[in-house]
Amino acid sequence: MVQESLERLLRSEEARIMRRDATERLTRRGFMRRAGAVAIAVPAVSMLLAACGGGGGGGGTSGGGGGKITIEMSEYKYNPSTITVSPGASVTVTLKNAGTLQHDFHCDQINPTTSSLVDPGKSLDFTFTAPSQAGTYDFWCTVPGHKELGMVGKLEVK
């Protein structure tokens, strides 16, 4: 009777171990299957996003005459970095400071030449008159060191 109980206990323990091993194998197999699917899906999605142009990330052109343009400012860039306006147009630029430092907008060829400083997290509407002569002009942040760190952009007058 004792031996019978021990055999039953041993069989139930063996069965438990076998079930655990099978579960672990399935879990590992399932994990590997999922990892393989992710390894295929991530590059495929990345290629699709790249082909679609994916969202403005730091460059680009905005504008198209006059009117209102929004420029996001952060350390140490403008987005978009190029804006296009018509000669002599009255242009309103919303300067949105998404950075952690003050920034502004300056261009020697516009009137007035420099916006007020914009505090972090704030926005400012800056209206200027575009140059009357077609061409490409530089604009930049006048906060010391920002221009040198790459906070520059292009004003295209067409």
- What tens digit of pLDDT does each residue of 75-101 get? 999 999 999 999 999 999 999 999 999
Neighbours of 106 (CB within 10 A): 16
The CA R_g of the chain, rounded to the nearest whole Å, is: 31
Query: What's the whole-model pTM score?
Result: 0.60
Contact 156, 83 (CB under 8 A): yes
pLDDT tens profile 23-49: 555 566 665 665 555 555 555 445 544
The pLDDT, as a whole number, for residue 156 is 97
The pLDDT, as a whole number, for residue 6 is 57
